[in-house]
Each structure stands twice: as C-alpha cells, then as structure tokens.
Structure 1
Amino acid sequence: MTSSPHLHRRTLIRRSAAAGLTALPAMAALSACASGGGGSGGGGKQQNAPGEVTERNPFGLTADSGVEVLIFNGGFEDQYARDVGAVFEEHYGSVEHNATEEISARVQARMVSGNPPDMINNSGADMMPLPALLKEGQVADLRPLFDAPSWDDPAVKVRDTLLPGTVESGQYGGQEVYVLNYAFTVYGTWYSRKLLHDTLEEEYPQTWDQMLAVCEKAKKQGIAGWTYAGHHARYLSFTMMPMMAKVGGPEVFDAIDRLEPGAWKQDAVVAVFEAYEEIAAKGYLLPGTPGINHTESQTEWAKNKALFLPCGTWLENESKADIAPDAEIAVGAATGLDSSDALPFGTLYATAGEPFIVPADAAAPRAGMEFLRIMLGRDAARNFTEKVSSLTSVAGAADGLALPPGLTSAQEAVAAAGENIVAPRFREWYPVFFSDVMGVAMGEMMAGDLTAAEALDRIQAGADAVAADDSVEKYL
C-alpha cells in the first residue's frame, strides 16, 4: 500500500505508479543487489559473481549468469515464459525452465530448505500463500526491479512503464514491493453475444430484474442461466464483489479489507448475496454445477449449456479449444440492483494479477529480476497478449494489436468503467479466508445448503477470526 492506507481505490487507479511509492535510491539499491556474494541453491546452482552494472545491465549479470524459473502452467500455459527465456539466453547464460500446475507441491519444501528457484510464477489453485512466505522472510523486495532502467528505454524506469496501481498491488502494508503482478485481469460475467443477442434476442442485463428475466427466458429454451466452478466456488466473487461495490460504493471494500466488525453484514453485501441466492432458488443454475471444477464449468458454458459464467480474462485462452469461432464471447460488468445503486453500470473489477516473486534465498536473485525486466519489455508484453489473450500491466503494450473478441470486450469494459474500477485487496492479503471461508460459503449457498444469511454469518465469523488472530499479519 501507499503511505496512506485508506485511499479509495479510485484514487489509487488515477495515480501514476511513479507517485505511488517512495522508493530506495535506485542505483544504490541496484548496486547493493548486484554486489551480493556467492552461495548455492536452486538444486545446487552456484551464484555467479556480479559483473559491471550499466544502464543496459542494471543487475550486473555476466555472459554465464544462468537462471532457474518455475512457471504456473495453467490458463496462460508457459510458452510466453519460454520466449522470454530465449531472449535471456541471447544476453546471458542458460535458463532452467520448469512448469507445473501445482506450485506449492513442487517448490514449498525448497523454499523452506533455502534452495528455491530464482523466480516463481506463484499462481493457481496450489499457489503458496504469500502472507505466510512474507512472515518467514522468504520473498525478496522487488523495488530494485521497479527502479531499474526499463528494457526498451534506459531513460525510463520500469515502474514508469506500468499501468497505475501495478506497483501498489504488490505491496503488503509497507514500502516494500514483494510481487510483480504481470497480467492485467478483468473479472466479470462472461457470455456469448451470439447466444444472448441472436438466439435469445436479449441485451446484457444492467439491473437484477433484467437478469432474472433473461435467465427465465433462457430456462424456457433449455439453457441454464448460470454455471460456475463448483470446486472453486470463490470464482463467484468475480461477479459478486463488483456488484457489492456498484450497489454500496467502493467504501464497501474499505471495510472488508480492514476486517472491520460487521463488514460482511453491510446492506450492499447482504443485497448481493440475496440476489445470487435467488438465482439458485429459481432453478437458473446449471444442474451439477456444485460438483464440477473450473475447466468443466467453462466447457459446459462454451457448449451453450449456460448463459453466464463468472471468470477472469484467462478464460479465452484456457478454453480456446471449446469456444466456437463465431461465439463472440464477451465479459460484462457488474449487473446492479436498480437505479438506487451507488455507482453506475460499467463498474468493473479489474486489477494487476498473475503474481511473480523472487525468493529471498534464491541463488541468483539478480538473474530472477532480470528475467522479469525482460518480461516487462514491450515486445515480451505484446507476445504475452498475442499468445494468451490477456492484457499485461505494461501500459500501451497491446495498442495496435488485433485482439480476439473476449479481450477486445475487456479493453472496452475498462475504458467504459473509467474511474469506477474496484480492486479489493483481502483476496491477496488473507487468501485462506478468501478461498476456504468466503468461497466455500458462497458455494454452499448456491448449492442450497446455506441461506444467504447463514452464508454471511459464516463469512463474518471467519473474518472476525482472522482479525483476532495475532499470528496473521494485518495490512490495514
């Protein structure tokens, strides 16, 4: 966070990244990083002695400086990182590239024993909880990276090439920046324009009455209104959370992020839970949804068995084999309740995401940061967008690209939202609560096992438990 932890997210979005952080003196920090001693790790790698620090080589790497990276092989796959590795090898030593869907299982023991990879894409369902890593001092401060000369123009710092809010999204209550969130992810309600507009002859619903009417019409034609990742019911929050902000304003998440008593009993939060409870109660949910995983829900949705699906912009790439070429998929902003909502239609949940870290005990942290510096270059960012249908946190990198329908709709949604973009932080700060308490309660409500009131009682109790637990680091 910035020095003022209670800034509204709209203020945070408007700020330039450069103004959002009081950083270490750039070259002093870089020199300290570049002059680190040897050591072993990463399966026995020996850290190379630093070379000359220049504006083109701010981390002082040499021709034989190697790096080990671990990439989450999920919705974005890993070819983009292999392409970055090829650039790294043009300038420095070899890249040991590993990819997996199970990050924690693959690397947690190495983190504890002090020989982790030099850079980790810590993402996916099996990601390592970052607060626990921070508490143990296992993650390096990335300010030397953000204060380094950018890959494309040494006269411009890396931080000044990024979308506003990117640097701040990697902060956890202090000036240190522990995470590079590389993808700029838009979360929302996905649908097929062909199915909605052509088959059902309907427009995207802006109010909840319109949502219920569209779902009823779809049901009469044998199409479910909704499906979601039943095994990972936290995906429901990708549409429920921006609706909370639309109904009650961005201050709804100020209270939730701060773990305030009663934050989950705010009127706007209750109204949203009751609205989604109605979706399930009226039979608008695809049968069997609570028992399927995220890829299965996406496949069923792509087959037009359900009209709406909560997800992020990784969907288009992850489900490309199942999505019909003429489906014209799109992501919709939060449907509201009615004209009394605090924010206008178009309010959007969008934020820098897809976290990358450099372990504090890495054998070659300078090489890990250089790998990330290459990733933040314009060519690498454009390559990522072209390969995986996702925007990056590099400002303007997608300009001029021919984007697929879903990503085009995401860009349009960001532009339409303007200042009304929300980015709740409790998801990253308290990930166990987000997944195992909030997400599970949402899923049980949609499955009919809990009422909206009972789900919120459970979530509020979980938030209160986090607030009272002195072993859990608090960030506001």
Structure 2
Amino acid sequence: MKRTMSSALMLILLSASVLSACSKNENSPQASSSESASASSTAAPSGSASDSDGKPTFENTTLNVAAFDGGFGTAYWEEVVKKFEADYPGVKINLETKKGDVFRDYIKTQFLSGNAPDFIATPFVETFAADGQLLELNDVFDGEALDKSGPLKDKVLDGFLDASMPLGDGKILYAPTGFNVQGLWYNKTLFDAKGWAKPKTWDEFFAMSDSAKEVGASLYTYQGAYPSYNEMILWPMIASHAGTDALKKIFNYEEGAWADPKVKEVLDIFYRIAQKDDLMKGTVALNHTQAQTEFLNGKALFIPNGTWFENEMKDAIPAEGFSFGFMAPPTFAGDPSYAVASNGYYLIPKNGKNPELAKAFLKYQFNEDNIILNVQKTGELAAVKGVVELSKSYVSPAMYEALGVFDQGAKPVMTTWKVTPPLSVNVSEAIFNPLTSVMNKKMTVDEWSASIEKSMATVRKEIEAAAK
C-alpha cells in the first residue's frame, strides 16, 4: 500500500502529470535509431563492471523475474526478456507469470520463504515496504537514463515517484509501471446509433433505464465475483460528492469516515441500482470475464473497468455493432467530475539474489523502444512524460479517448492508502464484499456503512498495537 499524501497535493501532482502526458512536449523522447538504441541499452548500469568492449558484466548472470498476468497479458514480458538477453550477452532470465490472486499468493509465499524473485512487476504491494522487504531504488532514478541524457527520474511523470515513497522518508521503494485510467465503459456504436448522450449526472444515468430496456439490456453490470471493481466509480464519486478530504479520511482509516452523510449518499447509488432492478440479472455470480462478455454482447449499458479492458477482451469483441466508449463516472448535480488514474509497480526485493542485474532490468523498462513495444503488445502506457502522444499511433481510438478524459474536465484521483503493518482484515474485502448483499437486496446503506466502520475499527486497533 502507498503512503497517504495530502489529497490536494496528490491531485495537483497527478493533474500535472496527466496533462503533460496528454499534450505534446517538445522535450518528450524522440525515436532513436537502432544503432543508438542498441548502444544505450547496453550501457553499464550502476554497480556493474564493464568488459574491454564497454559491455556490462555481472557476477551473477541469472535473473528471476515474476510478472503479473492481468488484463494486459504477458506478451510484453515475453518479448522484453528476449530483448534484454540479446542486449546483455550472457544474461539468462527466468520468467514466471501467474494470474490474479494466484500471483498475489505466490509472491507472498516467496517472500515468506526467503526465496523472493529478483524483480517483480505487480499491481499488489501489500505490506512489503512497511516490512522492510524492498530495496531502495533512488540510485536507479538518480542515475542516467539509458536512452537519453539526464537522470532517469526526469523521464517519469510528475508525482508518480512521490507516490513510490510509501514510508514518507524520501526512499523510492517501488517504481511505476504503466499509467492507466479507470471509469465506466459503454458501447459507443450503440450510443451513436440511438443518439444517446453519455450521462453526466446520476439522475441522467438512472433516466437511461428505460432506454436500456428498449434494447433488451440492463443499465449496469460489474465483475460480480470481484466486487472491488466498483472502486473505479466509488472513489471518484466520494471525491466528487463528499470531497477529497473525506477520501483522505477513508484512506487513513479514520473513525467515522464511512458514516459521513455524503459518503452514505454515494453508497446509496449502488443501493438504488439494486432497488430499481437496474443491475443485470446474475451479475453477482459472474467472474470478471463472464460479466465483461455479457456487457460486450449487449446485456448491460455500463460496466466499470480500466484501460486494459479492450486488450483483455480482444477475442470476445463482437465483429459488428460494438465499439468501446469511455467516460468518467457521473456526478451528483453541480459536483466536479473525477476519474481514477492508477499504475502498477516494479519491486526489487531487498533479499533478492541479484539486485544489480535487477536494477539494470528496471532501468531498461524505461527505454523508449520498450515503452513503444509495451504499447504495441498490450496497449499499456508507461508512466513517462509525453507517453500519450508518443503512443498515439499505436493505441485504439477508445484508448486515446479514455486517456484524454482529464483534458475533458475530469480531475484525477489515486488510491493512496496509509501504510500499515500486516492486518487480519482484508480492507478491500471489508469494503466491497457487503456490496453483494446490497445488490441482492439483503443489506441497507446504513448496514453497509456500519459493517465497514466495524472493520476499520479493527484496523485501527491493530495499527496501534503494532506501534507499541
């Protein structure tokens, strides 16, 4: 989990990063020739030696890499491993990829057994930073970039390295992977054909219920077995309606944060979806790919997801009558618009067997040719300046529209949870698992709020106990 920044500061920093990415920057990286790319790729990283030809050498030439197999798949990792082995002769990379919670559990087990991989790409940071299990990466980002002059940190989107200092002590303990946006997706082809406008407010959203029924669809669905997908609209709604300070209290586990009347008004949106029968039937029993397939087949007008959605479901997209459309979550009338901006993480375990080679591999990820490779293979954009324009010719219109949501008036929000010791409470499950009961009409908003408050009280007690 990341350290909690001041919400206002966090939003200012991220706004700057997003807007700089979405506008053309005369200092953005330019395409390099294969000759210069090859030369820069094999520059000796900090801590390594060089042979007589100037090529880096390492005492240990085997690198164990673990990468999350999520919505962006593994095509990039398979390709970049081959490139790195070619650019660093003699290096052998063992790549391990797993999906979902299997990957999360695998990484946890490897850390506990003292056999952590040398390099990890993951959306899960758990308590690794608080437990002192991660290597400090400041030297990597203070060092020269491989493909242009100047320190590597100057290439990274503003604010992202600040969010990579989870303990608030200036130490970079993980690095940003890709930059993505999360919100609501709809069938743009259908909306254009019907002349429907994207709903800007929740009243407009619910007013589309009859339109959905006319085309044999429900208004909303989500990845029922994984109700935390709804955080993609919950956090923006809270920031919009209750304010960023209210969101900060939630991320700090403060008492009464979930009892805030405006937060409860936000929770009531989900209750209204259930009570008005606007949820697609069977949603709560579906996994993510099942629910997403039903959405693609026209069974619901809206579904929450991130910018990996199109790539993840590329084999299930209908041949006709469908195109991806993206929007920030609706707001209560008069409230500002927000959308979630997020990224995954590169980690180097402190007790890994090959830290210097792992650092070289980390720095390699920020080469422009690899940034473009990642976009080509997955559609994921690296958290570097100028990346949207750099990638424009490689991403779909839907992706470009989604990444431009902040240019259209939405403000960015990131989940910046307070770093904690290991907890008995799974915070995400405590917040979102009761949603299943809400959607099944077995729980009220007050009961949902009280359930979360009870779990957060346990979290606070465990934080206090660990501090003694």
Name the SS for the 2:185 alignment partner. Answer: strand
1:223 CA drift (Å): 0.3
CA deviation profile, 1:398-426 (whole Å, cap 9, x unmatched): 424242132112122132246x2111312
1:218 CA drift (Å): 0.5
Cα distance in 1 for partners of 2:228, 2:4 equals: 30
1:225 to 199, 219, 224: 219
How do 1:5-20 residues align onto structure 2 when only pairs under 5 Å count? Answer: 5=6, 7-14=8-15
Matched residue, 2:291: 297
Amino acid paired to 1:318:
E
Name the SS for the 2:255 alignment partner. Answer: coil
Name the SS for the 1:222 alignment partner. Answer: coil
Cα distance in 1 for partners of 2:72, 2:105 equals: 19
Cα distance in 2 for partners of 1:134, 1:442 equals: 30
Name the SS for the 1:134 alignment partner. Answer: coil
State whether residues 205 and 335 of structure 1, in contact with CA within 8 Å, keep that contact through their aligned partners in structure 2.
Answer: yes
Relative distance call for 1:455 and 1:402 in structure 2 (3 A) is same
2:286 aligned with 1:288, yes or no? no
Name the SS for the 2:219 alignment partner. Answer: strand
Cα distance in 1 for partners of 2:381, 2:365 equals: 13
Matched residue, 1:122: 122
Cα distance in 1 for partners of 2:396, 2:5 equals: 39
Matched residue, 2:206: 212
Relative distance call for 1:104 and 1:61 in structure 2 (3 A) is farther
State whether residues 219 and 284 of structure 1, in contact with CA within 8 Å, keep that contact through their aligned partners in structure 2.
Answer: no
Relative distance call for 1:335 and 1:130 in structure 2 (3 A) is same
Segment drifting more, 201-210 vs 86-95: 86-95
1:118 CA drift (Å): 0.7
Segment drifting more, 276-285 vs 257-266: 257-266
Cα distance in 1 for partners of 2:132, 2:199 equals: 47
- The TM-score, its normalising length taken from structure 1, stands at 0.83
How do 1:88-107 residues align onto structure 2 when only pairs under 5 Å count? Answer: 88-92=84-88, 93-101=91-99, 102-107=102-107
CA deviation profile, 1:153-181 (whole Å, cap 9, x unmatched): 1x222211111221122221322222222
Q: Which consecutive residues of structure 1, in runs of 5 or more, have no partner in the other structure? A: 18-32, 36-49
2:405 aligned with 1:413, yes or no? yes
Amino acid paired to 1:387:
K
Cα distance in 2 for partners of 1:446, 1:454 equals: 13
Cα distance in 2 for partners of 1:467, 1:408 equals: 41
Name the SS for the 2:145 alignment partner. Answer: coil
Q: Which consecutive residues of structure 2, in runs of 5 or more, have no partner in the other structure? A: 19-44
Matched residue, 2:351: 361
Matched residue, 1:390: 380
Cα distance in 1 for partners of 2:433, 2:5 equals: 33
Cα distance in 1 for partners of 2:464, 2:154 equals: 36
Cα distance in 1 for partners of 2:177, 2:146 equals: 15
CA deviation profile, 1:432-471 (whole Å, cap 9, x unmatched): 5442101112232223221111111111222222122137
Relative distance call for 1:447 and 1:395 in structure 2 (3 A) is farther
Cα distance in 2 for partners of 1:91, 1:260 equals: 50
2:450 aligned with 1:457, yes or no? yes
Matched residue, 2:238: 244
Segment drifting more, 355-364 vs 109-118: 109-118
1:259 to 249, 253, 257: 253
1:6 CA drift (Å): 6.2
State whether residues 8 and 244 of structure 2, in contact with CA within 8 Å, keep that contact through their aligned partners in structure 1.
Answer: no
CA deviation profile, 1:262-294 (whole Å, cap 9, x unmatched): 111223311111122101111111111011111
CA deviation profile, 1:60-91 (whole Å, cap 9, x unmatched): 64397331111112211112112221221123
Relative distance call for 1:435 and 1:472 in structure 2 (3 A) is farther
More relative contact order in 1 or in 2 (CA 8 Å, sep 6+)? Answer: 2
Relative distance call for 1:428 and 1:276 in structure 2 (3 A) is farther
Relative distance call for 1:106 and 1:248 in structure 2 (3 A) is closer
Cα distance in 1 for partners of 2:76, 2:203 equals: 43
CA deviation profile, 1:333-375 (whole Å, cap 9, x unmatched): 0201112x2x2x4x22112x12221111111112112112111
1:146 to 141, 144, 161: 141
Q: Percent identity?
A: 24
Name the SS for the 2:172 alignment partner. Answer: coil
1:135 CA drift (Å): 3.8
Cα distance in 1 for partners of 2:347, 2:465 equals: 21
Q: What is the count of residue pairs matched by the alignment?
A: 428
1:377 CA drift (Å): 1.4
State whether residues 195 and 304 of structure 1, in contact with CA within 8 Å, keep that contact through their aligned partners in structure 2.
Answer: no
How do 1:47-86 residues align onto structure 2 when only pairs under 5 Å count? Answer: 50-52=48-50, 61-62=57-58, 65-86=61-82
